[in-house]
Each structure stands twice: as C-alpha cells, then as structure tokens.
Structure 1
Amino acid sequence: MQGQEAAGATPTPRPEKSSAGAECCQLVQGPIIVGAGPSGLAVAATLSRHAVPFTVLERSDGIADLWTNRTYDRLRLHLPKVFCELPHARFPADFPTYPSKHDFLRYLRSYAARFGVSPLFGRTVTRARFDAAAALWRVTAVSAADGGRATEYASPWLVVATGENAEVVVPRVKGMERFDGEVLHSSAYRSGERFKGRRVLVVGCGNSGMEMCLDLCEHGAKPFMSVRSGVHVLPREMFGSSTFGIAMSLLKWLPIKVVDWLLLLVARLVLGDTEKHGLRRPKLGPLEIKNITGKSPVLDVGAWSLIKSGNIKIVPEVESFSGNGARFVDGNEMAFDAVICATGYRSNVPSWLKDGELFTEDGKAKAQQQQQPSNQWRGPNNGLYCVGFSGRGLLGAGADALRAAADIAGRWQEWVAAAPGPKISSSV
C-alpha cells in the first residue's frame, strides 16, 4: 500500500476474512483515507511527513473531482490564497491573490506529487463499519474498472475526507418535470456562452448563484435569480484588504456580534441597502450564521452592480413550474428558456458509514452542529476521524488534517512498537 516505501519495513499482519459481498480483504498498513480532494490530500501529505503509510480510496478518476469536473470555468477562490493553502506547501509566488480554478488544480496536483500521494482511483466506497472484535475498520469499495468487483480494506484507522459537497442537491418543486426548457444543476454549468439571448432562471443566491448570474449577464443572457430566504452580501475587499482577513483579525479582539455589526456597517456604506433590490438580510450576522450553520456570506465579485442596474433581476421563491416557465410565491408568472439550480451539495457519508458517532443523519459533523469545532475531527476512541466537515473551508480542513494525522501517527508508532518484526523509523 501507499507510503510503505517512506515508512520502511513493517510487520506483516495476518490476513482477515472479508465481509459478505467483498471478494477479498486487504489488511492495509496505516489508515484508510476515503476521498482525494483537498482534505484527503492534506491528511495524506501530513501522514507522509510523519512517515506513516496510508491508502487513499477515491471514486473518481483523479484528484479533486469537485474542482475538476463540477465547477464553472470562471471560478476563482473567493478568499485570498493565504487562507486556502494546504499544510506544508505555499501557493507559488506568481499566483494571483485569488487563484483561478485552473491555478488551484495545478497547485493540488503539484501538492500530491510533492508528497507522493497516489490514490487508488475508481474505488467507490459502499460500506464502512467498525469490527469491534478485531478492532478494525472494514471498508468495502467497488471498482468500476474491474466490472464492479468489491474489495474490502481493513485498518485500525479510518479517515472520512469526502467533504460536505459530495452529492448535488436538486430542489423538489412542483411541476419541474413539465418544464419544456433545459434544467441543470450548477455542477453541470461551465459558461454562459451557450445561453446568449436566453431568459435563464437561477435558483439560489449563494456565491455560486451570484457568480453564475454575473457570467450569464456578461455572455449576453438575461438572468433572473430566485431568492428564497435572506442573504448577506459583503464586498470581497474593504479598505484595500480582504473582508475575510479583516474579519479574522477583528475576531482576535472583539466578540463575533461586534465584528458582524462592523462588517455590516461597512457593507452598507460600500454596497448600499441590499433590501431595496430584493436581497433581505438575515437577523443574525454573517459570521454568526457561518459559525452556526456553515453557510458562507456572499462575497461580491461584480454581480451586485448588475443587480442594482437591473441587468440581473431578483425574483421570489419558485412555487411551481409550467411548460414554459415558473410561478412564484407572490403569484407572478414568468417565461424562461432554462433553469439552473444553484442549490449546492450535501455529504454522502450516511449512505456508507456505519457504526460511526461523528455524523448526524444528514451527514453533518455532530460537533460542528454543537459548535465544538475543536473536537469534531475525532471519533470516540475507535480510530475514526473526519477532515473537511468543520464548515470552515480549506483553512479548517488543513487544521483538522494536522490534528488527525498527528493523532494517527502517535497511535501508529505505538502499534509498531508493540508488533513483532522489524520496526519503523519515526523520523520525518
């Protein structure tokens, strides 16, 4: 398995019987990491520096599937690069402050190569359960390349790194199946070029929905954005510095409610009253909402000026669809040529992780919902870890990866010391 070369000779474990449905079982060296996105790569890289072997299982055919295959062309990191670096590697100095999608993918591929992370691609994990009698996590993965052959991997440690954005969320709206135009999720949107001259309804007003409306407008389409609930829109920069960076600095000295008040005061001075144009602000402040729900405020990259000018039109929540358009909750009806659901993603952890106590039924980290981010990365002493579920983006995923890898490294060294056979060097 991956990482053995760096770790040196390891004790040879005895084979284990596979669970029902798996054709064979492999007792791997070191932890099993599920997911080869930024979170999984960060854990693997840190384990590599601790000289701990690992096995990464990834269902797609490459690293960072979300960024590679399910993001629009104009996407850039919404935060400055200094807040988006993975552990042990800075962004290249020539990268812009807000790296593009392609810049970020180049960084991730270089990161994987630098730390020798070579995932087992095309392995879709269908089940993971803790075998208390053997003190092992048993992870069943199906390989599409092998005709759906199932293999069970076993290890004392399991790292869940599939992230909060594993599966698309499409709203169930009455009559959507009767709409004659094109309906797609934002994961299938690449550019507004092919929508030129068309009336497009974008359902959702988060960062993706806002930026896709901007892109549609710039390509000559006529975008309408459906807003269901309140949303905080903040300028991406204030006083020549990133809004996020300013907020992080203020939080070191001031309570979160005070920082929210200051952010909203400046936002009103810079942007004006968003409610006049149909974007009602929630009662709670942007950072407080982020802290409680994980939902980020919108950082404006140009859409707001087009909303004020009327080039992007705000409409209410959709009540139902008809053959040629939509009816809104205020009773108005409009015709559209296409509908884009910018309604986000969800975790898929509950569909395959069994016997775990880290996650809720909807795939959220329990500790994150209970506002205990310092504890959310580790399970109840059964070798289970999660990385990338803190609701704090890449910065939070990196911090969780460092904690999880250090904890695993300590347990790995204890296991090696107690096992028969040649010992592993613990040098980095």
Structure 2
Amino acid sequence: MDYLQEVEDKRVHDHFEEKMTNSSRRVWVPGPIIVGAGPSGVATAACLKERGVPSLILERSNCIASSWQHKTYDRLHLHLPKQFSELPLMSFPSNFPTYPTKQQFVDYLEAYVQFFDLKPVFNSTVVRAEFDSGCGFWRVKTMGVNMEEREYVCQWLIVATGENAEEFVPDIEGMNKFVGPIVHTSSYKSGDSFTEKSVLVVGCGNSGMEVCLDLCNYNARPSLVVRDSVHVLPQEMLGRSTFGLSMWLLKWFPIWLVDWFLLLMTRLMLGNTAKLGLTRPKPGPLELKCKSGKTPVLDVGTLAKIRTGDIKVCRGIKRLTSHTAEFVDGREEKFDAIILATGYRSNVPTWLTETNFFSAKNGLPKKPFPNGWKGEHGLYAVGFTKRGLLGASSDARKIAEDIHHQWKARVNIECNGDIT
C-alpha cells in the first residue's frame, strides 16, 4: 500500500510532483487529464481554466488539431458557418469568411491555445488508462517518442480523442490485387497528382463528394461509389445556411415538419437526386441525424458535375482486380487509382480499459445524446456527440461546470483541514 499512501499524501498539492520509479516516471496531476489536443480537448481545457481548474492535455502528435493539420485535403472549408463552429469563450475573427478555410481554422485554434495559455504535452501517446478502485484514482500510462514511459495519476479523466481518431479502411475483395495507388482521404491533399487519371472514390459523404469535385478541377476523371441512400441538401437556402435555417425552424416546428420543408426546398433547388443515382433514405435528414448520427451532405458544386457527366455515380463494389473494379450491378470499369473516403473511427477501446461508459465495439459512449458526456468515477467524454464542433463545445461547458463543483468542494475541505 506504499504507492497508494504516496498518492494520497500528494493529493492536496497544487502542482505536479514527479518521482522516478524504475524505468518510468509517475506524475500526480491535481486537476483533470484531457486525452487529445484537438478542438474538443482545448475547448474543455479553456472552459476549465476559465473556472479556475487546472488541467493537463496529453497529445500523441506534435501539434494541436493534428487531424486538421495533417489529415485533411487542401481545399477543405468548414461546411457550417463560422458562428456554429467556434469554440467556447472566443469567436472567430470578424474578417474571416462565413466558411473559413482549413488554414484559417487552424490559425484560429492556435490563437485559442495561445490566448488561454494552454500547454499540451505533445508526442505523448496514451497506451493505457484504467481506474484504480483501490485508491480511487485514474492511472494513465503514456509512451513518448523515445519509448519513454510515464504514468499520470488523477481524479478526473476526460476523453477528447473524438469519433475520428483512426482511419477506417474497408475490407474489399481483391484490394491486395489492385496495382494502382489506394489512398485514404487522410492522405489526400489535392487532385494534382491525378490529372488525366480515372479515379474511383469510395464513399459519398461530404469528403467523398468534395474530393470528386477537387479531382474534376485537376482534370481527373472521378467516379463516385454510392452504396447506400444519402441525403444531399443545398449548403444554403433562402439566403441562409441550411444548417442555421434548420436550427431556427426547430425552435418553432416539430422535426418532421422541418424535414418536409427542407426536402421540398431541396427538390426545388436541386431537382430529383434519385435520377442522378443518389436515392434518399426514408427518414428525413434531421430525423436520420438524430437516430443514427449520419450527417446529410451539403452540396458545394458536386451535383452539377454529376449532371454534366464529369463525375460518374457507381453502385457498391463487388470486387477489385489488378486494374478494374466490378460493381454489384455487374458493370466493370478500369481505374488508375482508388481514394477511400470511408471515414474514421474512435480508438478508445485500444487504450481505455473501462467498458461500462464507452462501447468496446465502436468506442463511443453508450448513452445517447445529450447524456453521453459523463460516466462514473470521474470519467468524461467530449466530442462524441456526432454533432460536430457545436456538440463538442456543449460538452466542454458541461464537463467544466461539473468538475468545477467537485473542485470547489475539495478545496473547501482541504482549506478546512479535514483531510488526513
């Protein structure tokens, strides 16, 4: 019990204290540990700091928002207007456009971190986090770039690695036989290297649609695999963003009526997308989003290219050969390259031992929105709402408020000398 007693003796300290133990370092953290220095992690740290609660951010990469900086394509813009994408306590600069570019968003995040004086510990990969019921604290083990091990001990653990921590690569029959390049969108930057090539884009979400449009701009010949039904909406309606208009209408009308209105306006503006090979799901776009988290596609020009034939729509892939793709409808076509716009997945099950709050299957909180932000024993989740930056900001505020109440109670006890 020497170790447990050592932790208990240090719990009233207001600073980190390090001690060498064999090949690893043990660090007592008086406030919460936040795993992940993306938008969700830094937003939570800022909300905590604003309430006087210190925190420690652990980040496996060498920078903040590594996915945004290293795993996004060059032409990326925020799909929602900036007022729906800003983090708590700090707005976007007024001179930023309605839909900021990727670099503008990264600049905003770096200014955010500097303004709140946040100092993440970079190149620190969390390899295991478990709650020690014997002492009532979380033990978080990390590995540095030089294989340096470290163990952090804390009362609160905030998981901010998000829904998109690891690339999802589907298992397509014959993938190992295809001789051309197969790249995930996390490695795609622009269509510059695909000029005059026939490219198969797998996945019809916002990324897949936008990559196809980017390929067209570089005179490539893209084909888009659409395996399932999908809602495609205009990015703007009636002079307002479709998302903003939807949020306003939901204040006054039920979701089914708002969906009806959105689909009516979409039909008037975009026509019947089923004729383009893009059939719509039976549930409306907002109902589907609430039930499954599946986000509708906001069209930024891709549909026009599909209408002109610059982008072909294909059914699901049955198998690949050395140079071709065979589709489920029996059609076969030759391709020079394949781009996988197949999304991302949570990596939480690979390092967090707790399975009551987070699902071991998909790494997401088991509780549906809006209750998926708090677990047991001081465990929290931020950025897992399937509601983008707006949902992450909401989580960050709730988590900071909840921990602040506990922090104040603990400080009061300590000040009164009730801890032995």
* TM value normalised by structure 2: 0.94
| Distance in 1 separating the partners of 2:23 and 2:247 | 48
Note if contact 2:18-2:25 (Cα within 8 Å) is conserved in structure 1: no
In the TM superposition, what is the alpha-carbon distance from 1:421 to its structure 2 partner?
A: 9.4
In structure 2, the residue matched to 1:406 is 401
CA distance in 2, matches of 1:267, 1:13: 56
- Could you tell me whether the CA contact under 8 Å between 1:22 and 1:152 is conserved in 2? no
Distance 2:20 2:352 in 1: 20
Residue aligning to 2:46: 45
SS in 1 for 2:183: strand
Q: Counterpart of 2:92 in structure 1: which amino acid?
A: F
1:329 aligns with 2:328: yes
370, 375, 382: which one aligns with 1:387: 382
Asked if structure 2 preserves the Cα contact closer than 8 Å seen for 1:57 and 1:123, the reply is yes
* 2:365 maps to amino acid: A
Q: 1:154 to 1:311 in 2, by over 3 A?
A: same
**CA shift for structure 1 position 290:** 1.1
Contact 1:356/1:384 (CA < 8 Å) preserved in 2? Answer: no
How far apart are the structure 2 equivalents of 1:117 and 1:187? Answer: 27
1:419 aligns with 2:388: no
Change (3 A) 1:278 1:414: same
Distance 1:254 1:17, change over 3 A: farther
Call closer, same or farther: CA 1:54–1:334 in 2, change over 3 Å: same
2:161 is paired with a residue whose SS is coil
Report the alpha carbon displacement of residue 422 of structure 1 after superposing the two structures with TM: 10
Aligned to 1:127: 128
User: For residue 85 of structure 2, what is the aligned residue in structure 1?
Assistant: 84
Give the equivalent residue in structure 2 for 1:239: 238
Is the Cα contact below 8 Å between 2:178 and 2:324 reproduced in 1? yes
2:217 alignment partner in structure 1: 218
| 1:214-239, Cα deviation, whole Å (9 max, x unpaired) | 00001100000011100000000001
TM alignment of 1:19-418, pairs within 5 A? 23-144=24-145, 147-361=146-360, 362-368=362-368, 373-380=369-376, 382-418=377-413
Give, in whole Å, the separation in 2 of the partners of 1:250 and 1:284. 18
3-state SS in 1 of match to 2:80: coil
Give, in whole Å, the separation in 2 of the partners of 1:39 and 1:275. Answer: 37
TM-score by length of 1: 0.92
Q: Distance in 1 between matches of 2:256 and 2:166?
A: 33
Paired with 1:169 and 1:13, the residues of 2 have a C-alpha distance of: 37
* Partner Cα distance (1:15, 1:342) in 2: 44
Alignment length (residue pairs): 406
1:97-123, CA deviations, whole angstroms, 9 ceiling, x for partnerless residues? 000000000000000000011100000
Question: Partner of 1:3 in structure 2?
Answer: none
* TM-superposition CA deviations, 1:11-37 (whole Å, max 9, x none): 57988997xx97121111200000000
Residue-by-residue CA offset, 1:295-341 (whole Å, 9 max, x unaligned): 21000001010011111100110110000110001111100000000
Cα distance in 2 between the residues matched to 1:252 and 1:415: 39
Distance 1:272 1:50, change over 3 A: same
Stretches of structure 2 that go unaligned for 5 or more consecutive residues are 1-11
**Cα gap change, 1:312/1:13 in structure 2, threshold over 3 Å: closer, same or farther?**
closer
C-alpha separation between the residues in 2 aligned to 1:395 and 1:112?
18
- Partner SS state of residue 388, structure 1: coil
| Unaligned ranges ≥5, structure 1 | 1-8, 424-428
> 1:318–1:329: 8 Å Cα contact kept in structure 2?
yes
Give the Å deviation of 1:374: 2.6
Q: Which amino acid aligns with 1:375?
A: N
Identity %: 51
Distance 1:17 1:363, change over 3 A: farther
Q: Which amino acid aligns with 1:378?
A: K
Measure, in 2, the Cα distance between the counterparts of 1:10 and 1:83.
Answer: 39
CA distance in 2, matches of 1:114, 1:320: 51
Query: Which residue number in structure 1 is paired with residue 7 of structure 2?
Result: none
Structure 1 residue 181 displacement after superposition: 0.5
Residue of structure 2 equivalent to 1:5: none
Contact 2:182 2:338 in 1 (8 A): yes
- For 1:135 and 1:14, the matched residues in 2 are separated by 19
Aligned-residue offset at 1:365: 1.6
Q: Is the 8 A contact 2:17 2:27 kept in 1?
A: no
Q: CA deviation at 1:10?
A: 4.4
- Residue 207 of structure 1 deviates from its aligned partner by 0.1
Residue type of the partner of 2:210? E
Q: SS state of the match for residue 135, structure 2?
A: coil
Moved more, 56-65 or 406-415: 406-415
Tell me how far apart the structure 2 counterparts of residues 13 and 132 of structure 1 sit (CA, whole Å): 22
Q: Determine the C-alpha separation between the residues in 1 that align with 2:255 and 2:20.
A: 52
* Mapped partners of 1:134, 1:30: distance in 2: 16
